[in-house]
Structure formats: C-alpha cells, structure tokens
C-alpha cells in the first residue's frame, strides 16, 4: 500500500455535521416548545400582533448578538456593545438634530462610528495585547462617559428629521404585501443576519474568525497578519452595533445617553443560548438569532402570563445555565 | 559548493539565557542535514531564527549567497523557507483543506472564498503526497498521526526550497515514517534542502547526509552522517559516553501482585485485556499508535469508563470510575501530554509538587503552610535531581526532562504503589532519558509496580522486565524482558491483526 493512511472521512464529517445541526436543532426545538407552551397557556400569546411585538423586541438584541457572535468566535468577547450602541445613537443625534444634516448622513455616521469604536477595541486587543475582556470593559466605560458628555446628559430627539422613526417602526414590507406587516426593524435584523452569516461562512474574514478562535498562534505562524484581521473583525462587529444604535434610536425617536449598560450581557446570553462556544472557534449567526428569539419569547410569554418582571429575569438566568449545560452534555465524548 | 542557506556566527539571548553562541550552520540543495542536540541545546531556536519567528541578536544569514533577515514567517516563506513545527499547530475547528491553505485561500471578489477551489487544491497537494484524505474532513476528529501528515502537507504546499522538520515522526508509526521518508527522498531529488531535527537516532542513519551537533547553544561539530557511528554522535551531544544496556531483571516471582486487570474492554479500542504487575516489577506496554495502550491506562486510572472488566489492587477488587478513586487506590498516571494534563506550567516547582496533596500542607483554618511546601519541594528536587535554580522557578522554564521529574515528584508525594508512565521520555533528550530510566528503576527497586507505555522499542527493551504487546485493542502477547527478546519479536506481536472474522466486521 502506497498511501500514508486509509481514511474514513465520510463518517467523521457526517458525525460532525450531525453534532452541529443537532445544536441548532436543540435551540430551535426549545424555541418551538416555548411557543407551543405559551400558546396553550394563554390564548393571547399566538396573536399576530403579539408575534410581531416579539420580533420587534428581538431586533435590537438580535443585531447586538450577531455583532458579539463574530468577536466570540475569534475567542474574544465584547462588553462594550451596549454603550457603543448608545454612543452611535448619540452621534447620529449630533449629525441629524444638532447639525441638521439629511437622514442618510445620520445612518452613515452611526455605522462609521461603530466601526471606528470597534477598530479601537480591536487595536487594544491585537496591537496592545490587552485581553478582550479588559479592553472592551474599558471601552464600555469610555463610551458611556462620552455619550453623556456629548449629549449634555440629556436625550437628543429626532423630531426634526422626518422619517427617522420609520427606520424601525415603519413597514416597507407591509406596503408591498399588506398581509405581511413586518416592521422595518425586524427586516433589518434579518438582513443583518443574512449578511453576517454570509461573511462568516463564505469570506476570508469569516474564515479567520474561526481560525483565530481555533488556534491563533498557528494562524500567525502561517504568515497571516492576524492583528489586521482581528481589528477588522472588531470593526465589523462595531459597524453592526451602529445598526443596532439606529434601530433603538429610531424606536425611541431619541438618543437616550443613559441607556446601554446591560444590553451587552443580554446579547452575550443570546449568543451562548444559541450554542456559540465562549472559548472560540465554533458558533453560528443562526444560533445567536434563535438565542435572541428565545429570550424575547420568554420575556413576552411570561409577561402575557402576568409573571412578575423580577421572576422573568430569574427564568432567563436559569435558561442560560440550562442551555450551556445541555450543550456540554451533547459535546461530552460518550 | 554553493549553499542554499548559510548561517554564520548566529547569536541569540533570552532573558537570563545565552541560547545561541556564535553558531554556524549551512544547508545545500538536495541534502538532508540533521540537527542534533539535547533539549535546550538551541536546535529549535536556531531554526526559529531561520524561519523568521525569532529575530537574531548577532551573526549573518545568507540565502543563495545574499544576506537575508526574515522578520516574519511570511518573509521566510517568500525566501522559500518552510517549517513544520514540533508541536502540532493546527486549527482543530477547521477542515483539512482550510488548515493546509490558511492564509492563501483562493478568493473571489470582495474577499469571498472559493471553497471548491480550496478543496481541489488541497486534494492535489494530498495527491502529490499520495495521502488519501478528504480535504473536507475536520482536523479535530483526526488522529495525532493524521494531523501530523496534514501539517506536513501544509508545509509542502508552499513549495519550499528549504524545509525544516522539527521532530516530524514523534507521533508516526513505522509505516507512516517509511512514507514520510519516501516523501523526503522525492523532495531531495527536486533539490529541496531539508533540516531534520529528531531524537530518534536510527532515523538519522536512514536519511541524513550530514549531521550538525549543538550543545548548550554552541556548534560542536558537523559530520558526514554515513561515516560517523551513532555512539560518536550521542557522545558529542551529551559530552560524555552513554551506554545502552539491557535491564538487570530482578526476581519478583515471590513479590505480591500489586495490580491485576481482567477482561478490560471499551468499544473497539480495548478488547478483553488482562495482565498483572508485581511489586518491584516494570511492565512495558508496546504497540503501534492506536493499539489502545493509552486507552488501557486511562481505563485503569478511571479517566474513561469501561464496558467490562475487573481491576484488582493488591488482590482486592476496586471499583474505579473516577481518577479520584484510582488515586485513593494508590494508582498514579503520568500522561503523555505533560503540558496539558500533568503540570500547571505557569506555577512554580514548589506549587506543582505540593498540588498533588494540598491537604497535607493546609492547617485547620485552610491556610497553606509555605514553609512545609518548600521543605517538601526541596527534598524532591534533591532526591530526583531536578535541575532548577530554586523551588520557586516557574515550571515552564525547565527542560522537558526536568518537567517530567516534577510530575514524578507529584505522584511520589501521593505515595502511589502503582505508577503508569505514558511515553515518559517523549520530547526528552538522550542525557535526561537515562536519568528518567534510572529513576524508574529506583522506584521499582523500592517495591512500587511500574507500567511504562512507550512507542520507542529501544526504550521498552531497555526498561521493561516483561513486555506486553498490544495490537488493535487486544493484548497479543507478553514477552520476557532482557536480551533474548528482539525488536522483531515485539513487532511480530504488534502487527498481529485480529482473525478474519474481526477484520470483516471492521471493514463494514
């Protein structure tokens, strides 16, 4: 025999595929179970209006979760997405309300600001070798402070910019298909998810997300400029956070400078429930999307059942632990 | 005679260490130049300078007669210098093709990947190596040997003119090594210069044209491989004579049986394995990669569950389902992967030794007694001859042999009667090997039962009083130790495959 070794790649590959799909199925199945459970418990739950409310409530957290997913797959973490979202909203307020520029400039400002903040975090992590947890913790506080300074601690309203609130609340889809009155915010979430999933699975940037999370030193020794790619990944995550900033500002028709803290933990929770490994190298956008939906369904369903808000938080915490435990049980070599 | 690469007077200092002192090294096209030396001699450092991973502090490097100073792995790749690292450095979550071509993915516009082209190119590279592997297979699911082959494919995919191989055969079995050597021969005829680092002496004779010996960061000699006896090379490496002797086998027939296993089974990896070890005896377990040796050890140690079988310690059946239970029964297991499972490398020698039994150093308030830990650590440093400046030195700064001694100290502190050593000298140089051997023999003489799992036949034959040989999960025979057992005897048992019936079952 002249071959170096015989192979059974089919079985190995199919085993891995099974495992991956299994995790998505697990999260997806939980979502379905929750939906069925709540609709049995309360007739008000399965109303179209309530479903749309759930999706609308998912949009901001979902977009943030997608941003954090990219960073987490590299083996990092981004704690600054909540206050960064607020910061991009405040900058949009400066551009639209203080400077009176047209709407498109506001949109571009939010995304560019996010990308810039992300590239700063990325630089701290990649060039200055600060652990992601610390670098983005610092960034979280810097951006929270800057939002308050720039806005003078007061909300900035978008009353002078007609159409700004349409970004989140209007429904382009509903005008074309009256039967599908999906708000723009939800549409944007799905578009962001589709684009992010494409980038993650079909582009070089996405490949290096997984590669960095899997074995960074090896990527570096292969001659890849890991610093540059890492900064690019954080910047992309930041740009996505800019979209979330637009969504929340549009929904509130204002930039609320005091808002933001806590959003990053919700986003990370969604990512974890969706089966992305916090140690890096594994994860999916679809998983995070489902994770965000599970959290929104829980909150909404428990509210419909008139469970006190304090208890909703307790349940969410328990779900996170259960989700990760289920994931570990599944990974455990038999 | 022109050289592909010439390094003259290379200097390298790390904090507190003069790693390379004016080292000369050259490489011709189409030759295999073996680089030999004990661990810490500076082989890997020299090669990391050649391949752009470390900058040099002094000296000059010429590539094709022109001065060169590669300052990154990529710059070295552009000079045609490729390296296969000693430690596997693959991305386990990616596929084989994604690993092989990392950094050079076929792209379409806007940074989009051309996955089909990626897999095709990888398939071509595998075909050149005559390696049958699916480019889409995830690397994490492959055996170590397969991962090593992927690593080699990756290095070759750069079409290097200079290829550095740092212990490429550490995890390969004989058939795979033969294939690797065939690949090396092909590369030689294409004019590729190969730097070959290995601790396996027999390989040097088989493939090297010249040998350069380093010791303590200095160039000792460069010799013709064919005309220099191995004993001379070893002597130059360690700076003294090392003799290879057969073990003196004590008569342990009257000693009590320390450990007995009957009918151990676990899936296809371990099938109906039974053996026993007496006090004062060293039992070697030989076999090829994947024969199930480590799996047997892990079952005995409770690290993996078993489907069937019985474990008896000192004549009494014990129910070991967890490593904790194994330790209580007096069984210690020293993993083949010291850095991952054996040591906290960022902590001091003292902390590592004491870690095995912290309760002993803790008072009732839960406060650690540093003075007692220091006494114990110093005691073991002296007894085992651990070479370290102090007991507060971080373990990662010790050489492989001394790290292994720290692991042994941990288990001695636990007072284990049965010690299982899995590849005890992997990555350890020749001089330190003899010290580890002497240590194992001393432990046996104290009445402990020792099991040594090793892929190196000379090691098993040097140490073992009896040699158990495994093949495909089965124990195919137990041979007596000593001079009358030859490598051929062991290999015959190590390749004794199952009956036609089992073979057919596996083919499905």
Q: Residues B457-480: pLDDT tens digits?
A: 788 888 999 999 998 889 999 999
Domain region containing A286: 46-171+178-331
Instruction: Look up residue B195 and give its two tokens.
Output: 């730097």
Contact A202 B72 (CB under 8 A): no
High-pLDDT (> 70) share of chain A, %: 91
Residue B243 is predicted with a pLDDT of: 53
Residue A10 is predicted with a pLDDT of: 47
CB-defined contacts A:B, below 8 A? 106
257-296 of A, contacting B, C-beta below 8 A: 281-282
Instruction: Look up residue B92 and give its two tokens.
Output: 């386990």
Name every residue in B having a CB less than 8 A away from some CB of A: 53, 72-74, 77, 85, 89-94, 98, 102-103, 105, 107, 110-113, 115, 129-134, 136-138, 141-142, 145-146, 149, 154, 176, 179-180
A68 pLDDT above the threshold of 90: yes
Closest to B455 measured CA to CA, from B290, B272, B297, B264 = B290
Contact B179 A16 (CB under 8 A): no
Closest approach of chain A CAs to the CA of B326, in angstroms? 20
Residue A255 is predicted with a pLDDT of: 95
Closest approach of chain A CAs to the CA of B140, in angstroms? 10
Where is pLDDT greater, at A107 or A214? Answer: A107
Where is pLDDT greater, at A46 or A146? Answer: A146
A27 pLDDT above the threshold of 60: yes
Residue A332 is predicted with a pLDDT of: 57
Residue A17 is predicted with a pLDDT of: 53
Per residue in A139-159, pLDDT (tens digit) is: 999 999 999 999 999 999 999
Residues of B in contact with A226 (CB under 8 A): none
Contact B91 A219 (CB under 8 A): yes
B505 pLDDT above the threshold of 50: no
- Check if the beta carbon of residue B57 is closer than 8 Å to that of residue B12: yes
A232-241, B192-201, B230-239, B445-454 — most confident range: A232-241
A16 pLDDT above the threshold of 70: no
Residues of B in contact with A3 (CB under 8 A): 130-132, 179
Beta strands B257-266 and B308-313 are antiparallel
Residues of B in contact with A219 (CB under 8 A): 91, 102-103
Partner B contacted by A309 (CB < 8 A): no
Q: How many domains does chain A have?
A: 1
Per residue in B72-90, pLDDT (tens digit) is: 888 998 899 998 876 667 8
Residue A280 is predicted with a pLDDT of: 87
User: CATH 3.40.50.300 residue ranges in chain B?
Assistant: 5-238, 243-330+416-508
Nearest CA in chain B to A14: B137
B310 — pLDDT class (breaks 50, 70, 90): very high
Contact A222 B102 (CB under 8 A): yes
Q: Which of A1, A2, A3, A4 to mutate to test the interface with B (most CBs of B within 10 A)?
A: A4
Residue B504 is predicted with a pLDDT of: 36
Where is pLDDT greater, at A332 or B253? Answer: B253
A63 pLDDT above the threshold of 50: yes
B434 pLDDT above the threshold of 90: no
Region A2-6: mean pLDDT is 39
Closest to A203 measured CA to CA, from A227, A233, A225 = A233
For the domain that residue A71 is a member of, what is the CATH number?
A: 1.10.3470
Of A13, A204, A213, the CB nearest to B105: A204
Residue B370 is predicted with a pLDDT of: 87
A230 — pLDDT class (breaks 50, 70, 90): very high
Where is pLDDT greater, at B486 or A298? Answer: A298
Partner B contacted by A15 (CB < 8 A): yes
B506 pLDDT above the threshold of 70: no
Cα–Cα distance between B179 and B398 in angstroms, integer? 34
B44 pLDDT above the threshold of 50: yes
A5 — pLDDT class (breaks 50, 70, 90): very low
Partner B contacted by A20 (CB < 8 A): no
Region B120-135: mean pLDDT is 87
A5 domain-assigned: no
Where is pLDDT greater, at B487 or B121? Answer: B121
Quick one: B438 exposed, middle or buried, by C-beta within 10 A (0-12, 13-18, 19+)? exposed
H/E stretch holding B479 reads strand B474-480
B485 Cα distance to chain centroid: 25
Contact A13 B136 (CB under 8 A): yes
A163 domain-assigned: yes
Contact B107 A204 (CB under 8 A): yes
A263 domain-assigned: yes
A147 domain-assigned: yes
A278 domain-assigned: yes
**Which CATH code for domain B243-330+416-508?**
3.40.50.300
Closest to A106 measured CA to CA, from A233, A232, A253, A237 = A253
Residue A9 is predicted with a pLDDT of: 44
Cα–Cα distance between B155 and B7 in angstroms, integer? 22
Per residue in A301-321, pLDDT (tens digit) is: 998 888 888 888 898 889 888
Residues of B in contact with A13 (CB under 8 A): 134, 136-138
B501 — pLDDT class (breaks 50, 70, 90): very low
Closest approach of chain A CAs to the CA of B455, in angstroms? 18
131-170 of A, contacting B, C-beta below 8 A: none
A108 domain-assigned: yes
Region B294-300: mean pLDDT is 93
Residue B39 is predicted with a pLDDT of: 65
ipTM of the complex: 0.71
| Cα B177 to Cα A3, B145, B209, distances in angstroms | 12, 10, 18
3-state secondary structure of B21: strand
Nearest CA in chain B to A220: B73
A243 domain-assigned: yes
190-229 of A, contacting B, C-beta below 8 A: 202-207, 210-211, 213-215, 217-225
Contact B138 A16 (CB under 8 A): yes
- Check if the beta carbon of residue A84 is closer than 8 Å to that of residue A144: no
Cα–Cα distance between A25 and A326 in angstroms, integer? 12
- Check if the beta carbon of residue A86 is closer than 8 Å to that of residue A147: yes
High-pLDDT (> 90) share of chain B, %: 36
Per residue in B151-203, pLDDT (tens digit) is: 888 888 888 999 999 888 766 777 778 888 888 888 898 899 999 998 777 78
Residue B497 is predicted with a pLDDT of: 67
Of B98, B130, B134, the CB nearest to A7: B134
Per residue in B386-412, pLDDT (tens digit) is: 888 888 888 888 877 888 888 888 888
Residue A8 is predicted with a pLDDT of: 41
Instruction: Look up residue B189 and give its two tokens.
Output: 């005829």
B324 pLDDT above the threshold of 60: yes
B507 — pLDDT class (breaks 50, 70, 90): very low
B1 pLDDT above the threshold of 60: no
Q: Which of A8, A208, A223 to mutate to test the interface with B (most CBs of B within 10 A)?
A: A223
A71 pLDDT above the threshold of 90: yes
A106 pLDDT above the threshold of 90: yes
Contact A223 B105 (CB under 8 A): no
A24 domain-assigned: no
Residue B419 is predicted with a pLDDT of: 93
Residues of B in contact with A224 (CB under 8 A): 74, 102-103
Per residue in A259-301, pLDDT (tens digit) is: 999 999 999 999 998 888 888 888 999 999 999 999 999 989 9
Domain B5-238: CATH superfamily is P-loop containing nucleotide triphosphate hydrolases (3.40.50.300)
A43-57, A71-85, B242-256, B436-450 — most confident range: A71-85
Quick one: B91 exposed, middle or buried, by C-beta within 10 A (0-12, 13-18, 19+)? buried
B140 pLDDT above the threshold of 70: yes
Residue B500 is predicted with a pLDDT of: 36
Nearest CA in chain A to B157: A222
- Sheet strands side by side (includes B218-224): B66-67, B58-63, B5-14, B17-27, B218-224, B210-215, B32-36, B193-197, B162-166, B81-84
Region A90-110: mean pLDDT is 95
Residues of B in contact with A282 (CB under 8 A): 93
Exposure pattern of B279-291 as b/e (b: 16+ CB <10 Å)? bbbbbbbbbbbbb
A324-328, B173-177, B298-302 — most confident range: B298-302
Cα–Cα distance between B194 and B209 in angstroms, integer? 10
Contact A204 B94 (CB under 8 A): no
A97 pLDDT above the threshold of 90: yes
Instruction: Quote the mean pLDDT of chain A.
Output: 88
Residue B74 is predicted with a pLDDT of: 86
Closest approach of chain A CAs to the CA of B134, in angstroms? 6
Cα–Cα distance between B131 and B146 in angstroms, integer? 10
């Amino acid at each position: 025999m002249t071959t170096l070794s015989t192979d059974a790649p089919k079985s190995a590959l199919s085993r891995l595929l099974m495992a991956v799909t299994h995790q998505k199925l697990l999260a997806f199945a939980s979502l379905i179970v929750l939906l069925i459970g709540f609709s049995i418990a309360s007739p008000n739950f399965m109303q179209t209006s309530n479903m749309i409310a759930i999706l609308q409530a998912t949009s901001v957290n979902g977009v943030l979760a997608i941003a954090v997913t990219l960073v987490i797959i590299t083996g990092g973490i981004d704690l600054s997405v909540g206050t960064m979202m607020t910061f991009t909203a405040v900058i949009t307020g400066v551009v639209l309300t203080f400077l009176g520029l047209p709407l498109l400039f506001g949109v571009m400002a939010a995304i560019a600001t996010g990308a810039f903040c992300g590239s700063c975090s990325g630089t701290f992590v990649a060039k200055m070798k600060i652990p992601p947890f610390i670098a983005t913790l610092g960034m979280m506080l810097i951006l929270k402070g800057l939002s308050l300074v720039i806005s003078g601690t007061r909300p900035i309203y978008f009353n002078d910019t007609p159409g700004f609130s349409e970004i989140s609340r209007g429904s382009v889809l509903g005008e074309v298909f009256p039967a599908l009155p999906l708000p723009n915010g939800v549409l944007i979430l799905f578009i962001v998810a589709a684009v992010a999933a494409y980038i993650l699975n079909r582009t070089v940037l996405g490949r290096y997300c997984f590669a960095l999370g899997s074995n960074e030193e090896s990527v570096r020794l292969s001659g890849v400029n890991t610093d540059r790619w890492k900064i690019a990944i954080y910047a992309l995550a930041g740009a996505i956070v800019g979209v979330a900033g637009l969504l929340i500002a549009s929904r509130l028709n204002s930039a609320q400078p005091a808002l933001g803290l806590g959003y990053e933990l919700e986003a990370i929770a969604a990512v974890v429930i969706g089966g992305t490994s916090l140690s890096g190298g594994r994860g999916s956008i679809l998983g995070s999307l489902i994770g965000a939906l599970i959290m929104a369904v829980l909150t909404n369903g428990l509210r419909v059942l008139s469970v006190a808000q304090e208890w909703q938080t307790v349940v969410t915490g328990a779900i996170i632990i259960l989700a990760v435990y289920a994931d570990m049980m599944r990974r455990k070599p038999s | 005679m022109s050289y592909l690469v010439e390094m003259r007077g290379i200097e390298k200092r790390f904090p507190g260490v003069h790693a390379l002192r004016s080292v000369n090294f050259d490489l011709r096209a189409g030759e295999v130049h073996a680089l030999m030396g004990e661990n810490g001699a500076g082989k890997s450092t020299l090669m990391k300078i050649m391949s752009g991973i470390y900058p040099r502090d002094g000296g000059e490097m010429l590539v094709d007669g022109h001065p060169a100073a590669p300052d990154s792995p990529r710059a070295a790749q552009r000079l045609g210098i490729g390296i296969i690292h000693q430690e596997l450095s693959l991305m386990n979550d990616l596929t084989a093709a994604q690993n092989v071509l990392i950094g050079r993915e076929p792209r379409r516009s806007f940074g989009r990947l051309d996955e089909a082209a990626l897999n095709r190119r990888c398939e071509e590279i595998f075909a050149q190596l005559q390696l049958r592997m699916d480019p889409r297979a995830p690397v994490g699911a492959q055996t170590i040997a397969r991962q090593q082959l992927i690593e080699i494919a990756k290095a070759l995919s750069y079409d290097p003119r200079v290829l550095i191989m740092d212990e490429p055969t550490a995890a390969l079995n004989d058939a795979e090594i033969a294939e690797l050597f065939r690949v090396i021969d092909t590369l030689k005829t294409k004019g590729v210069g190969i730097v070959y680092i290995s601790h396996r002496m027999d390989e040097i004779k088989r493939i090297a044209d010249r040998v350069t010996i380093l010791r303590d960061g200095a160039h000792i000699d460069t010799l013709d491989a064919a005309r220099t006896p191995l004993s001379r090379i070893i002597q130059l490496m360690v700076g003294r004579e090392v003799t290879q002797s057969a073990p003196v086998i004590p008569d342990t027939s009257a000693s009590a049986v320390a450990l007995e296993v009957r009918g151990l089974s676990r899936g296809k990896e371990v099938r109906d394995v039974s053996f026993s070890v007496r006090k004062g005896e060293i039992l070697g377990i030989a076999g090829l990669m994947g024969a199930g040796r480590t799996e047997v050890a892990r079952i005995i140690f409770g690290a993996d569950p078993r489907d069937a079988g019985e474990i008896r310690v000192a004549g009494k059946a014990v129910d070991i389902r967890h490593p904790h239970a194994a330790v209580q029964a007096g069984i210690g297991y020293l993993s083949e992967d010291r850095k991952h499972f054996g040591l906290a490398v960022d902590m001091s020698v003292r902390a590592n030794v004491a870690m095995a039994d912290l309760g002993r150093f803790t008072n009732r308030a839960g406060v650690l007694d540093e003075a007692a830990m220091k006494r114990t650590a110093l005691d073991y440093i002296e007894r085992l001859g651990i070479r370290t400046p102090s007991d507060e030195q971080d373990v990662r700064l010790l050489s492989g042999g001394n790290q292994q001694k720290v692991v042994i100290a941990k288990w001695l502190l636990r007072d284990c009667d049965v010690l299982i050593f899995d590849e005890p000298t992997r990555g350890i140089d020749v001089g330190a090997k003899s010290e580890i051997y002497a240590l194992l023999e001393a432990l046996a003489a104290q009445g402990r039962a020792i099991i040594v799992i090793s892929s190196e036949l000379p090691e098993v034959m040097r140490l073992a009083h009896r040699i158990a040989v495994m093949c495909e999960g089965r124990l195919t025979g137990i041979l007596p130790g000593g001079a009358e057992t030859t490598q051929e005897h062991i290999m015959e048992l190590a390749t004794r495959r199952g009956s036609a019936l089992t073979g057919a079952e596996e083919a499905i």
